[in-house]
Amino acid sequence: MRNKALYRNIQRLLPTFEAAARRESFTLGGEEVGLSQSAVSKQMSELESRLGHPLFVRAHKQISLTPAGDRLFKAYSLAASQLIDALEDLIQEHSRQQIVLSTSTANGAFMLLPRLAELRECFPGREIFLVTWDPQGIEPTGQFDLALTFGKPDFPGLETRPLFADILTPVCSPEFLEKNGPLRQVSDLLKCELLYMQAQHPSWIGWRQWLREFSLDLPKIHQPMGFNNYYNTIQACLAGQGVALGWLRQLGNMLESRRLVTPLPEYMQTEDQYQLAWPSDRTPGFPIQPFEEWLARQYGGAIPGFPLPATKPKV
């Protein structure tokens, strides 16, 4: 407690010290901080007494710094410069009206980044700061303004707005299909390298669950290749390493460009939906409707070749 009080008393004197040292004058330094020459001289004597070092060489109408004073001045100037930088950043962030948008790695890579110009149009005049968190896409400390997530968020204190479900069906690269195809029925998948993401959340659907929708089980000896996130799973799929479960809302851009293809007509619709979420104690200071409408228009419509509602074909 004694040291804290000592440091607080020293800190009180530092702005006056900096002004006097920079102006090389107790009089001019005092004018900056609103003190008389005698008051500045008194404070500097107090500061020297508390530090146990002389800080100024006092001559007739002139002062200069001692080595100890020069050391303190440089340290204080560096700290003040860092403080000014932080203040400028905060002021600029406020003036830019930054929006922190949180989502998963896959949502960011496959849904938002390919259409970044359209995304920015949803928030005119705002700076978008995109952060990604897996598995659900919600920055865990709550330092975000809006989140795009899949499944109802596990985190408390959030308001949510459901958007649309997704459709799951096998996807692969055209090169893989040409080399290993054709795939005529679901059971043909069991002859392929199946790429999967290790489930990190109950809303995630893997190969076992998907195949059981069509009365099939993975053989016990089958060892599919696994990844800890969906982005890497799809990168392996694009590289022709196997078949992945395709979340078609996410992968629409790759399907349109034929970088990925859907070799089978069988699919299942998810029970969970994509959601918009935001902290319930902090109402967004911007309209979210343009972003919601863009998502619905771009990703929530019908997917060619996969009419709803889903039915289980015979295998």
- Mean pLDDT on 163-178: 95
Going along the chain, which residue ranges are E strands? 56-59, 62-65, 98-103, 127-132, 146-150, 158-171, 194-197, 225-227, 243-247, 268-279
Q: pLDDT tens digits for 209-238?
A: 999 999 998 877 666 678 888 999 999 999
pLDDT category at 5 given cuts 50, 70, 90 is: low
According to CATH, the topology of domain 166-271 is: D-Maltodextrin-Binding Protein; domain 2 (3.40.190)
According to CATH, the topology of domain 2-95 is: Arc Repressor Mutant, subunit A (1.10.10)
- For 194-248, the DSSP string reads EEEEPP-STT---HHHHHHTTT----TT---EEESSHHHHHHHHHTTS-EEEEET
Q: What would the two tokens of residue 30 be? A: 């005092």
**Which residues are CB-contacts of 161 (< 8 A; sequence separation ≥ 6)?**
275, 276, 277, 288, 292
At residue 1, the pLDDT reads 46
Q: Regarding predicted confidence, which is higher, 152 or 220?
A: 152
At residue 222, the pLDDT reads 65
pLDDT category at 142 given cuts 50, 70, 90 is: confident
At residue 313, the pLDDT reads 37
Count of beta carbons in the 10 Å neighbourhood of residue 229: 18
pLDDT category at 315 given cuts 50, 70, 90 is: very low
Ordered by start, the domain boundaries in the chain are 2-95, 166-271
Judging by beta carbons within 10 Å of its beta carbon (0-12, 13-18, 19+), is residue 107 exposed, middle or buried? Answer: buried
pLDDT category at 141 given cuts 50, 70, 90 is: confident
Report whether the peptide linkage leading into residue 153 is cis, meaning its omega lies within 30 degrees of zero: no
- Mean pLDDT on 277-295: 91
Q: pLDDT tens digits for 39-83?
A: 999 999 999 999 999 999 998 778 999 999 999 999 998 998 888
- Mean pLDDT on 191-213: 86
Are residues 125 and 97 in contact, defined by beta-carbon separation less than 8 angstroms?
A: yes
pLDDT category at 304 given cuts 50, 70, 90 is: confident
